[in-house]
Structure 1
């Protein structure tokens, strides 16, 4: 893997960190929140520039379930980012205050709720790319070939993070926030700032793991079905020849 590709991947993970940081609004002052958001959209633009070739190939190739799911995820991600961009401009108080609207309470609510959905969609998108991430990780560490120990260790770590993510989802009331339900929970940043970030990071890991292993299951079933059809094809051809002779 080239250093440029590693840099691109590092910027993508930085974008995820910025999304979580933006969710910690009550930990930041408004100016810092808007600066983080501006940096996030800058990274999104760079991400699309780096991956511009994907848009030309998205409509080509085999349209299996995994590929269709990937395309839908990218579409949902683009829609979420567009909503975040428009609403952030309309409620800005510092960086883009000249574009803001007065008394835009409903827009603030949409912006807040869309932020949680954005985190979820990013986690799913990360899950669709997790094989690439792991290949870069192995290449960076110089790990060659396959290892049962490394595989077991990686899966055990993924299971642990996913379990932590389930617990964090309840602790952070993540499901309620996705359903646009008001919650009375307020994270005490004076008590633990790192806990906020680690909890949301584990939630990202949870949904990325679900997506990754779910797609592996879909591909395995497809390959098994294709294998069954391949084994049946000679018998079908032979049967067709016999019918023609008769």
Structure 2
């Protein structure tokens, strides 16, 4: 496997892990949340450096439906992450405490909450649009295709995770945070941390499945259209 691709995979995996940890906020402590956020900022910069070729070619070539969706999602991820990071720096009491920032705390809190949750969703959708690439890498590492039975088991597992993700999304009242119906996140301190992460992994899986399904559908339509045009 090329070193650059390996570096991209490592950075993206680290960002996914940090994203899940950041959603735990009060459960891991404010200082830990800030340090993890600073780590996410560095990884976010690294991600864009490693993918500079894609950024450089954003205005070139033909825009298929999938490419339009990928580009739109990339812009939304960037907007949500910038909002989350800049507001986080403004509120910082540990990592960026040395910065001469005065006032604006109320605005920063108002921006930080929806940006964090929209960022979680957009990043999950972004990952879903690249899920074929992830599965391709896994297949190359295994050096063989999954059997028919294995594919059936994987599809059932994906459906179960998605259903759990819907339940977790509703149970955790994520809509309230996305649309600022409340300005505070409710954490159940009696819930084991492993169950909290299971909820958020399932929600991530739900949005990965949604984006993966939409992406594959658009690819099939594009392929059919090209066939019709060539006939």
TM-score using structure 2 length: 0.91
Q: Which residue of 2 aligns with 1:236?
A: none
1:109-135 Cα distance to aligned partner (Å, 9 max, x none): 211221001000100110111011111
State yes or no: 1:2 paired with 2:2: yes
Report if the CA contact (8 A) 2:162-2:205 is conserved: yes
Larger Rg over CA atoms: 1
State yes or no: 1:171 paired with 2:171: yes
State yes or no: 1:134 paired with 2:117: no
1:25-60 Cα distance to aligned partner (Å, 9 max, x none): 211222111101001111111111111111122222
Q: Which residue of 2 aligns with 1:70?
A: 70
Q: In structure 1, the residue corresponding to 2:98 is in which secondary structure?
A: helix
Question: How far did residue 83 of structure 1 move?
Answer: 1.1
Q: Which has the higher contact order (CA 8 A, sep 6+)?
A: 2
Q: In structure 1, the residue corresponding to 2:182 is in which secondary structure?
A: coil
Q: Which residue of 2 aligns with 1:113?
A: 114
Report if the CA contact (8 A) 1:65-1:218 is conserved: yes
Structure 2: gaps (5+ residues):
none
1:122-169 Cα distance to aligned partner (Å, 9 max, x none): 001101110111111122223x24632333232222212111111111
Cα distance in structure 1, aligned partners of 2:185 and 2:196: 12
Cα distance in structure 1, aligned partners of 2:191 and 2:71: 41
Question: How far did residue 92 of structure 1 move?
Answer: 0.7
Q: Which residue of 2 aligns with 1:242?
A: none
The number of residues matched between the two structures is 230
Q: Which residue of 2 aligns with 1:91?
A: 91
1:80-101 Cα distance to aligned partner (Å, 9 max, x none): 1111221111111111113333
CA RMSD of aligned residues (A): 2.0
Cα distance in structure 2, aligned partners of 1:52 and 1:187: 38
Cα distance in structure 1, aligned partners of 2:66 and 2:191: 42
Report if the CA contact (8 A) 2:15-2:44 is conserved: yes
Cα pair distance change 1:102/1:54, threshold 3 Å: same
Cα distance in structure 1, aligned partners of 2:146 and 2:227: 24
Report if the CA contact (8 A) 1:164-1:202 is conserved: yes
Cα distance in structure 2, aligned partners of 1:7 and 1:55: 17
Cα distance in structure 1, aligned partners of 2:157 and 2:122: 22
Q: In structure 1, the residue corresponding to 2:59 is in which secondary structure?
A: coil
Cα distance in structure 1, aligned partners of 2:58 and 2:107: 35
Segment of structure 1 superposing worse, 6-15 or 90-99:
6-15
Q: Which residue of 2 aligns with 1:147?
A: 147
Cα distance in structure 2, aligned partners of 1:219 and 1:112: 34
Query: Counterparts in 2 of 1:1-246, with a 5 A limit?
Result: 1-2=1-2, 5-99=5-99, 100-102=101-103, 104-142=105-143, 144-145=144-145, 147-182=147-182, 186-231=186-231
Report if the CA contact (8 A) 1:84-1:111 is conserved: yes
Cα pair distance change 1:165/1:132, threshold 3 Å: same
Cα distance in structure 2, aligned partners of 1:178 and 1:8: 29
